[in-house]
Amino acid sequence: MVLGLAHTWGCRSDSASHSFSSKTNSYVGSQACISCHAEAYADWTKSDHYRAIEVAHDSTVLGDFGNITYTADGVTSRFYKKADKFFIHTEGNDGQYHDYEVAYTFGFYPLQQYLVAFPGGRMQSTRVSWDSRENKWFHQYPDQEIHHSDWLHWTGASQNWNTMCASCHSTDLKKNYHIEADSFSTTWKELNVSCESCHGPGSTHIEYMEAKAKGATFHLLNSGLRYARDTTPQIQLNTCAACHARKSDVSPNLLHSDEIMDDLIPQVLSNEYYYADGQIMEEDYEYGSFTQSKMFHFNVRCTNCHNPHSGKLRQEGNALCLSCHTSNYNTPEHHFHMPESAGAQCINCHMMARTYMGNDHRRDHSFRVPRPDQSAQFGTPNACTQCHADQSDQWAADRIVDWYGPKRVYHFSDDLLPGSAMGEDAESHLGALLRDTLQPGIARATAGYYLGRVQTMGSIDHLLWATTDKHAIVRYHALRSLESFPENLWSQKVGALLRDPVRAVRIAAADLYHRVAPDQIPKEEKEAFAAADQENREFLSYQADFSVGNVMIADYALQEQDYDRAILFYRRGLKKDSLMNYARLNLATVFNIIGQNDRAMEAFLQAAQIDPFNDRIQYNLALLHYELGNTEGARNAFQAAVDLASVNPSVYYNYGLLLQQEGMAEKAERIFLQGLKLDPNSVNIRYALTLYYLERGDPGAARVQGEKLKALDPFNPDFQQLFFQLDI
């Protein structure tokens, strides 16, 4: 379903639409709002936003700092007070115990964390936190003994406030990361999440309202605010999504347009962060879930359910749902539970809860219908057996059939689940979902994301089709997935997206086009590529305080054959996150390119030790062993990749060739056929198998494979002699 929203929000910068004033629109602070907005201000002071971060003192610190000790996972921390300051005696990043002064409180309910200042402008968030529901200390991630050098340690990159938390807990926060010094000089206009976090700087609004009070008759869009009361549902959601989405920020220079991907890139529903059907799994916040829902596509907005200033629900229990839905949904004929019981509560069936940060219970905002039939087949969770834990998923699926009949209304997960499983029919399911414009954009974009792993000509066709989709998130992920395919298959189509109206899409197009040799870029695209490439470089630099941001910069340098810069940033990424094997694999690739294969092997072996169940690592190890003349090591690593159920056709192609070389013909045939089962359109495997049958003296079998090869790639000059020999 496509939203028909009127794009009436015209302010794309803080200074637009107020030419009546020569002053720059600036932040004035929440105190300036009280005189006209007393009720909203009073509600705000009771909200989580108000207490998002506060200076640590007696009235803000909730934890017991009365010389209390708490031991968890091998570390004993002591919480005490000295004069009017709060301290934690605990393990530091050197493995030794130190006294750390608490600078700020971070949140307050259901838990409160504490921020400690470190050199380089860093502030680190403690993982031993105060449970303000049960009034006790607890460890957010129990049973994890984390080494002091690990990025997950409270002093490491994963708990760095500047990078991971700050932008959503303060007003107009600028992280101000200095890439060369690897340091911060973070600033904010107001410490907590204040009025101007959502509405934008207020000086022009105040000036305009004062002019109106004096009799001015002109109209100023949104009363001089960036976001006002009567804007569209999409703009409201964009405003909330800046903090209530799992996402990447595009730039510190916000455009504040009505297209969310001008300023941020939401995470799609990949099974790295979500369950394979799109239900919340990791800490995904609300945006990715809500934009899956029918409510979003019928223009329901956040404030229909939530008071935007207090954050509280507008009504409690089923009454909130019945403010829109008809009363028949609140009867046993619909929910089949006793009235007023837990099973009769709408949210328990349609908003399953998960616990994050140890004690923070959050609900899934996709408002989905329970599908225990999918749980029985794919292992996804469902609301029925979450409550009826003593029953099976099949039991729940049978009850649904008893109540509602044998057929389920189509949901995008009916294609996303089998598609994400990467089986033989993955392409057909993912392609169908991608092209179904009645389905949510974020779900269709997820299908595009997965199609990058299905390296067939059919996938290419689907992805190229999606580059002209009306949803920016679909175009963006189509471009990202095209990275998996040779440039000759997409280069002509991608050029137009260098001029896409949405910034994130231009960045993805530039990142993809960066693989094209400079002398191969068409003259008419050079100017557009230069502009988009500059935007992409700015985007990459803005991510440099993240471990993955360093890897993205290194990847760009690798494409430019700037190997020293690539090594520098891969190592920086690994310094921030020692478990990030993607960086380690690419670092090994660079070492291989520059002839330092001993260091390449060391990197691969480290990666395999960290993740022994990763087939890509074993494949890369096999290739390097073979290059170094160690065929036994190559054979063992190839077999390990196969045993790990690799879906990469190149594994089976190269392994089959090695087995042929070593005289293991029958096993080579089995491996080739296993690869073809995964990818019937693999040209390399078809070619190798055709030659294999010829060498075995079986022209009939060779002809069968040759005909299929010709259907796949009829004009390849390397195959013409073979086609002639087989008379096809």
Residue 598 resides in a domain: no
Residue 522 is encoded by which pair of tokens? 């068409």
DSSP 492: H
- How many domains, the chain? 2
Measure the CA–CA gap between 334 and 350, rounded to whole angstroms: 13
Question: For residue 99, what are the CA distances in angstroms to 96, 154, 405?
Answer: 10, 14, 64
DSSP string covering 571-622: HHHHHH-TT-HHHHHHHHHHHHHTT-HHHHHHHHHHHHHH-TT-HHHHHHHH
Residue 266 resides in a domain: yes
CB atoms within 10 A of CB 112: 20
Angle, helix 683-695 to helix 649-661, in steps of 10 degrees: 20
Q: Which helix (H) or strand (E) holds 643?
A: helix 631-643
Residue 307 resides in a domain: yes
The residue out of 399, 415, 431 marking a domain boundary is 415
Residue 273 resides in a domain: yes
Residue 149 resides in a domain: yes
CB atoms within 10 A of CB 8: 12
Place of tokens 């050098």: 149
Whether residue 301 sits in one domain with residue 177 = no
Place of tokens 């330092």: 596
Residue 8 is encoded by which pair of tokens? 């009436």
CB 376 within 8 A of CB 393: yes
Measure the CA–CA gap between 165 and 122, rounded to whole angstroms: 12
Longest dimension (CA), the chain: 98
| Secondary structure of residue 237 in the 3-state scheme | helix
Whether residue 139 sits in one domain with residue 254 = no
Residues of the chain with pLDDT under 70: 1-20, 22
Whether residue 159 sits in one domain with residue 297 = no
The residue out of 382, 400, 415 marking a domain boundary is 415
* Predicted pLDDT at 231: 80
Whether residue 394 sits in one domain with residue 261 = yes
* Predicted pLDDT at 19: 57
What stretches of 318-456 show up as alpha helix (H) in DSSP? 318-322, 332-335, 346-350, 372-378, 383-387, 393-404, 413-420, 426-435, 441-451
187-212 burial string, b = 16+ CB within 10 Å, else e? ebbbebbbbbbbbbbbbbbbbbbebe
Whether residue 406 sits in one domain with residue 270 = yes
* Predicted pLDDT at 1: 30
Whether residue 282 sits in one domain with residue 179 = no
The residue out of 415, 434, 463 marking a domain boundary is 415
* Predicted pLDDT at 20: 66
Residue 190 resides in a domain: no
Residue 540 is encoded by which pair of tokens? 């990459």
Whether residue 260 sits in one domain with residue 158 = no
* Predicted pLDDT at 647: 87
Residue 380 resides in a domain: yes
Question: For residue 28, what are the CA distances in angstroms to 54, 112, 171, 204?
Answer: 19, 28, 11, 10
CB 154 within 8 A of CB 124: yes
* Predicted pLDDT at 6: 29
* Predicted pLDDT at 469: 98
* Predicted pLDDT at 281: 97
CB 675 within 8 A of CB 656: yes
Specify the long-range contacts of residues 548-556, CB closer than 8 Å, at least 24 apart. Answer: 548/573, 548/577, 548/580, 549/573, 550/576, 550/583, 551/580, 551/582, 551/583, 551/586, 554/583, 554/586, 554/587, 555/586, 556/511, 556/514
Whether residue 298 sits in one domain with residue 391 = yes
Residue 292 resides in a domain: yes
Whether residue 258 sits in one domain with residue 165 = no
- Domain of residue 118 covers 53-184
CB 623 within 8 A of CB 630: no
Question: For residue 78, what are the CA distances in angstroms to 15, 85, 88, 433?
Answer: 50, 14, 6, 54
